Amino acid sequence: MPKVLISDKMDPKAAQIFRERGVEVDEITGKTPDELKAMIGQYDGLAIRSSTKVTKEILDAATNLKVVGRAGIGVDNVDIPSASAKGVVVMNTPFGNSITTAEHAIALMFALARDLPEADKSTQAGKWEKNRFMGVEVTGKTLGLIGAGNIGSIVADRALGLKMKVIAYDPFLTPERALEMGVEKMTLDDLLLRADFITLHTPLTDQTRNILSAENLAKTKKGVRIINCARGGLIDEAALKAGLDSGHIGGAALDVFVQEPAKESPLFNTPNFISTPHLGASTNEAQVNVAIQVAEQMADFLVSGGVTNALNVPSLSAEEAPRLKPYMALAEKLGSLIGQLAHGEIARVSIHSEGAAAELNQKPIVSAVLAGFLRVHSDTVNMVNAPFLAKERGMEVREVRNEKEGDYHTLLRVSVKTADGERSVAGTLFSNTQPRLVELFGIKVEADLVGNMLYVVNEDAPGFIGRLGTTLGEAGVNIGTFHLGRRDTGGEAVLLLSIDDEVTPELIATVRALPGVKTAMALKF
């Protein structure tokens, strides 16, 4: 039974779903990195929010870990490249808390517009300072969105409902989508110049870090009010403080900070500054949503191989998984075969799907080919890290589909290009379930790629098969299956034999010494 650790506070629905789906679950929160490192080895899955930092060190200690599930959106607390290199799937729940977070941004916008926290403090202190608090209406004002994805677009929708004008800077926002959202797309400089309120909704990346830098803050309209419910690090906090102090910035509300938990900050107690402790996703509704979603996704993956919302591996629905499973087995065997037979540096791997195979989701098939191929040289390769390793090794990966059936109703062909030229192997599924090799380097041969195999290329001449059989018999080697193919009569022939025991180097040397043998090799599947 797979075992999952929930290491951050999560709605109890998550544990309930894991148990219902046959996954053992421990809920142990508040552990230090060292304590987590000591215990992580026993778990197949790790379910987190934002407190647990899934570092390379934790991943190195996680010898059984297959999946990290983030109940939420941002995965900046997970070292994704290290997870990919270790073959661990990283998933998030991209929609469960979007509405809640957008509502928090709108709440902060109103809090800034009417100075609500300060007015509340003053009133409860018995001051009744009616003249001190003069706010602004949001109706008719311009809201500048930096980032117009899931949350940004919900904020836009709510702001339009409030009769605001919404402008957006997002390099990936298409004009069609901007039109559909009812926002005006523009450059960052134009947005800075025009917005009365600015709200940030991008992830923290090398491009977005300090997007509101001192220089950019200086370009904003005097009196601008700024809201950040996305990630600390998008705004230069020192420059924000200077802008508030000088009065150029009319107000700022931060839910997120460069350093979290933010127990102290030069911004604290600055006039017109409001803060919340990363509460963007903190509503009952959002927490139930993300807990259910993360547990379902992780259980799907651990129990049936379905992949949803993964950030480092292609998606594969729980419905698709059973249909794709035999193809992935075939893809892995073909990748492994060509990986064992190919020599020299591989410049390119091409995966060609024909007939029924071409109608399927190709990404998992490609990953399986690469995993089979690269596993020949490393035991730690799997479907998650294979594409990453192929890229790291400078291999070009090509994917070609042809829905028209050829000789077989379904076919996968894997070709590799080396300095010696391009060579390919092809396979099909018998009864839609059983992987079979049908072509090897241009020679038709039908074989099951299983267990220990002996691969022989020889001159097609009478008596060879008898001699080989005698040699194997004398060496005490039992043949399981025997598959033969040849290019043309009297030309080159290929033999693939499954052998009960491991094919020893001595046996290979004996076979190579037989007259007519061009190549002999041990293969393993």
Ligand X SMILES: O=C(O)CCC(=O)C(=O)O
Ligand Y SMILES: NC(=O)C1=CN([C@@H]2O[C@H](COP(=O)(O)OP(=O)(O)OC[C@H]3O[C@@H](n4cnc5c(N)ncnc54)[C@H](O)[C@@H]3O)[C@@H](O)[C@H]2O)C=CC1
Q: Which of 55, 82, 208, 213 binds ligand Y (CB under 6 A)?
A: 208
Residue 49: contacted member of ligand X, ligand Y, none (CB under 5 to 8 Å, by partner type): ligand X
Sign of CA dihedral 442, 447, 450, 451: negative
> What 3-state DSSP class applies to 80?
helix
35 given a catalytic annotation = no
CA distance 493 to 135: 87
Is 70 part of the annotated catalytic residue set? no
Please give the Cα distance from 263 to 277 (Å, whole number). 9
Of 49, 70, 231, 483, the active-site residue reads 231
The number of residues that bind ligand Y (CB under 6 A) is 32
For ligand X, give the closer residue by CB, 97 or 385. 97
With CB under 5 to 8 Å by kind, the binding choice for 98 among ligand X, ligand Y, none is ligand Y
Q: Which stretch binds ligand Y (CB under 6 A): 24-32, 150-158, 473-481, 484-492?
A: 150-158
Instruction: Tell me the two tokens of residue 411.
Output: 């076919």
Give me the phi and psi of 524, to 5 degrees please.
-140, 135
3-state secondary structure 142-195: EEEEECCCHHHHHHHHHHHHCCCEEEEECCCCCHHHHHHHCCEECCHHHHHHHC
Q: Which does 146 bind (CB under 5 to 8 A by kind): ligand X, ligand Y, none?
A: ligand Y
Active site residue 231: yes
- CB under 6 A: which stretch of 226-234, 237-245, 294-302, 401-409 binds ligand Y? 226-234
> Looking at 170-178, 296-304, 396-404, 515-523, which segment touches ligand Y (CB under 6 A)?
170-178
Side chain identity at residue 110, one-letter code: F
Using the rule CB under 6 A, is 73 a contact of ligand Y? yes
Contacts of 395 (CB under 8 A, 6+ apart): 346, 347, 348, 349
Catalytic residue among 57, 260, 399, 492: 260
Which is catalytic among the residues 70, 225, 278, 483?
278
Interface with ligand Y by CB under 6 A: which range of 1-9, 128-136, 147-155, 386-394?
147-155
Binder of ligand X out of 74, 233, 243, 372 (CB under 6 A)? 74
Tokens 């991008």 -> residue: 202
The full 3-state SS of 408-446, as one line of letters, equals CCEEEEEEEEECCEEEEEEEEEECCCEEEEEEECCEEEE
DSSP at 268: T
* Binding of ligand Y by 8 (CB under 6 A): no
Which x/- pattern, by CB under 6 A, does the window 291-310 give for ligand Y?
--------------------
Spatial distance between the Cα atoms of 316 and 322, rounded to a whole number of angstroms? 10
The continuous run of DSSP H or E covering 302 comes out as helix 284-304
Q: Is 97 in the site for ligand X (CB under 6 A)?
A: yes
Least distance in angstroms from the C-beta of 9 to ligand Y? 14
128 touching ligand Y, by CB under 6 A: no
Q: Which of residues 270-289 bind ligand X (CB under 6 A)?
A: 278, 280-282
Total number of residues shown for the chain: 525
Burial of 128 (0-12, 13-18, 19+ CB in 10 A): exposed
Name which of ligand X, ligand Y, none residue 469 binds, using a CB cut-off of 5 to 8 Å depending on partner kind: none
d(CA 372, CA 335): 5
Q: Residue 447 touches which of ligand X, ligand Y, none (CB < 5 to 8 A by kind)? A: none
Q: What are the φ and ψ backbone dihedral angles of 78, each rounded to 5 degrees?
A: -120, 130
Whether the CB-CB separation of 520 and 455 falls below 8 Å is answered with yes
Q: Which of 49, 104, 221, 333 binds ligand X (CB under 6 A)?
A: 49
Binding mask 384-423 for ligand X (x = CB under 6 A): ----------------------------------------
Q: How far is the CB of 47 from ligand Y (least distance, A)?
A: 17
Token code pair at residue 385: 């890290």
Chain residues in the site for ligand X (CB under 6 A): 49-50, 72-74, 97, 278, 280-282
Chain residues in the site for ligand Y (CB under 6 A): 72-74, 94, 97-98, 101, 146-152, 169-172, 201-203, 205, 207-208, 229-231, 255-256, 278, 280-281
Catalytic positions, written as ranges: 231, 260, 278
